[in-house]
Every structure is written in structure tokens, then in C-alpha cells.
Copies of this chain bind each other. A is one copy, B any other.
Amino acid sequence: MENPSEDTPTRWEGLPSWLLSQTANHAHRLVGDGFSSVGARGYHYRLLTTLEEAGPASQAALGRRSGIHLSDMVATINELAESGLVERAPDPSDRRRNIISLTSAGKRQLRRLEKRLAESQDELLAPLSPEERQQLAGLLSRLLDHHNGRTGTPEEPWS
């Protein structure tokens, strides 16, 4: 990507999945650049946010809430803990668990990340009017609901 030199009007360019992937790549790049400008990446933001919303919790619980895979949680928490943005303490009432909590430095970092995030969103949507932005969000949400909801979820809850 990034170098279409020999101008590239190729066959797949019009496919919805391609348009989606490409714009998502741009979005990802914009957001990622914003995050990395303060030494973070997506998982860091997601974990910090979840932590602020849900309060201190075990890694497994945070994983469930944030949608971050357990095995990725370990690394993410390690990284955040190393920077003092997060604290890992053993749960006295269940020695299998760690209780992860947000430090004040973590909160400050979260504020920075949110700022960057907001900027990226603006940059991403720059060419669209407010109504168009909402149209886009609406259409994407519909697709998302469809593919999250009716995907593999049995109608009758298994007993």
C-alpha cells in the first residue's frame, strides 16, 4: 500500500470489503499515530478506559469487559505497569487473581489518549459533513449489530 505509482485501477478497488478495509487502515494509522505519540497503542487505551469505567478488577474480568484476549492482557498490563499507569496487586480473597487498578498517572495518560483520539476522529472524518458522519456511523452500526447479534447466537438459550 501507499505506493500506487503505476496508477492502480484494479478490479477489487470497488468492493465494499476493500473500501472498508482501506478506510479502516487509514483510521487505524491515524489513531495509532496519535496513541504512539504519547507512547501507547490501542490495547493501552482500551484497558485504561475499561479500568476507569469498571474500577479495579481482575485481569479476566477486564478482559471480558474490554474484549481483550486474556493472553494479550498479560502483556498489556505488564507494559502499563512498567510505566506506572496501572497497578497489579494480589487479591487477598482469591489468590488466583490479581487486582488491577488505575493510578493517577494512568488517569492522566488516559486524558491524553482521549485527546489524541478525538483529534484522529476529526482528521479521519474531515471530508464529511455532520449529517454524512452520522449516516456513516448509522450504516456501520447496522452492519455491526447484524454481524455481532445474529452470528452464531442460538435463539434458544441452551439449558
Contacts and interface: CB of A to CB of B under 8 A. Distances in A.
A5 B124 contact: no
Interface in A51-78: 53, 61, 64-67
A10 interface: yes
Contacts of A27: 16-17, 20-21
A132 B61 CA distance: 38
Contacts of A46: 10, 12
Contacts of A30: 17
Contacts of A31: 17
B17 A124 contact: yes
A6 B137 contact: no
B3 A65 contact: no
Interface string A116-152: 0100110011111000110111011111111110000
A6 to B, nearest CB: 5
A127 B140 contact: no
Given A3-B67, A136-B136, 4 more contacts: A8-B66, A10-B49, A20-B20, A136-B140
Q: 10 closest Cβ contacts across the A-B interface?
A: A24-B24, A19-B140, A17-B27, A127-B146, A26-B147, A20-B24, A6-B64, A136-B139, A20-B27, A1-B67
